Structure 1
């Protein structure tokens, strides 16, 4: 078995396939032979959602789909920064003081603030003003990057460390604009997965905009395998080893700039991932960061935090916390990879 190196970044020779098999997976019942995989899908949070499931004798697919849509609609009504009527947008527009919100929003924000504190502000849920300034928010794209003065003004606004959270209300210090894009989809994946498990659907794969969680196995005794999208180098061509991950009781999320970016005046790629500490896009040294975690919400937010921490501080920060992460670095026109020890222990290349 060949393992990924957890040490300094190493360029890999092309390999047909890398498999990541998480350890300590919970026991799973084998569905009856011949039970088909049912697929449900739709739109939410500005992206797609998709569920694959095996449910012999379980609730009808139409009933499950209605339940999934209801869960996703509730999360949008609570956490969308695009819907002016959402709890989050009401908070953003509120003057200084306490704002009553849905309890789910308060719980997610509490987790977001803990990651912000642990990462030294590399992740900041109060980044809404900067996101809009760079053209990645509800106001839409901008013709040119913002001025240094505009960035400085956004950085001078209250930040994450001035927010307070109680079970059903949030403290608005005045001027804070939340953006939970880096954690809400992962939270939604977890919520849908719990809903399915609670209804006896013990074999399912949930995917919302590329954030995934799997549970159980299929009738051929295989877990839910997912293949990571290959990131692109500075030459625009995809590269890196093709990677497949077995998801049973695990989630995976990736942060990268291969699809969403802004072109600077010099023709350089400006990532949609902003560094809340500088107010500017992160350098394009990192093509992608993938995190494997039991909770999709944590995989989602940690992938963003690690992207901002970058190719040097990020792997060390993740390794110190036992985080399973794969960093794909741009070196010249090619790509290189670095895995944390926790992920390297699970990987084998064939």
Structure 2
């Protein structure tokens, strides 16, 4: 049996695409993962030109926010000398401002300046690891972090490099890229579309039959019979992002070290939380919030979701399988 969620903002049935609209699908690779877009195109829209626009939107995010690309704007900021004001593009500043807001709200559970820690644990551009780093290495990397030392000048289009701060926007840039593609399609007169990048999703409009873009929420691959229901969400003006300990990790001496680093300790989050899914209008925000809630853990994460009205689903590992916990904002969407 399936369980369905409907956006609370869906007050009237969406108007389906016209009879002459045609379905079009594009796919490719970006940001170390895959992307796909399904859209209902009006008869006058050039599918080839749209694909070029989609790829340009994705390339723009990489050019601005990838710390894997040495010539990106983020990499340029990371190399800047202490006390330097670095000019950044509007989109990069927008993402950084959102990241700092989530960092502030979560008490640093999410930190866009945690790049040195991510690299140290082998989850960034630095080589992968098969064993944890030494405690003194962790302590040194932590001293190089500090989201609260970053100063933004939104009007001036710049950010202050306080010294040795290394931005890592990977936990939010992918969600922003989903939003950027959706905004591009809206601007081209394509009102009905579903965008996915590495499992992060955003849907607008409906399918030809008038039904919304139904998508199944991601669960750990070993979730088994403890979560027998498939949870489907109607992505109509809504985004979904999931953070899980099963995506990237390494095992050492019988222990799993997942890619979600707790910047407050310098070590990967070590609680029983297997995954968090967040539903939000903006995929950028859903992406960052899912990371913050994963770091906070089942109890503090649920309290944070309650306090801030975040629609979140928590899957917690137990000896018998998984326990599911829904925030009030998430449960309110259940049809």
- Give deviations 1:131-179, integer Å, cap 9, x for gaps: 0000001112023110111001111224100001113211111110110
TM-aligned CA deviation for residue 259 of structure 1: 2.6
Picking from 304, 321, 329, the partner of 1:334 is: 321
CA contact (8 A) 2:103 2:112 kept: yes
TM-aligned CA deviation for residue 33 of structure 1: 3.8
- Give deviations 1:92-133, integer Å, cap 9, x for gaps: 111111112222111110111111011000000001000000
Scaled by the length of structure 1, the TM-score of the pair is 0.91
> For residues 33 and 284 of structure 1, what CA distance do their matches in structure 2 show?
51
> For residues 232 and 53 of structure 1, what CA distance do their matches in structure 2 show?
28
Instruction: Give the direction of change, closer, same or farther, for the CA distance of 1:101–1:26 in structure 2 (3 Å limit).
Output: farther
> For residues 20 and 11 of structure 2, what CA distance do their matches in structure 1 show?
23
Instruction: Give the direction of change, closer, same or farther, for the CA distance of 1:180–1:159 in structure 2 (3 Å limit).
Output: same
Which aligned pairs between 1:111-150 and structure 2 lie closer than 5 A?
111-150=98-137
Runs of 4+ more than 6 Å apart: none
> For residues 284 and 178 of structure 1, what CA distance do their matches in structure 2 show?
25
Give the secondary structure class of the aligned counterpart of 2:41. coil
1:256 aligns with 2:256: no
| Cα RMSD (Å) | 1.5
Give the secondary structure class of the aligned counterpart of 2:292. helix
Scaled by the length of structure 2, the TM-score of the pair is 0.95
> For residues 185 and 52 of structure 2, what CA distance do their matches in structure 1 show?
12
Which has the higher relative contact order, 1 or 2, with Cα contacts under 8 A spaced 6 or more apart? 1
How many residues are aligned here? 330
Picking from 192, 197, 206, the partner of 2:181 is: 192
1:110 aligns with 2:133: no
Which aligned pairs between 1:186-335 and structure 2 lie closer than 5 A?
186-233=175-222, 240=227, 241-265=229-253, 267-335=254-322
TM-aligned CA deviation for residue 333 of structure 1: 4.3
> For residues 242 and 34 of structure 1, what CA distance do their matches in structure 2 show?
33
CA contact (8 A) 1:158 1:174 kept: no
Match of 2:8?
23
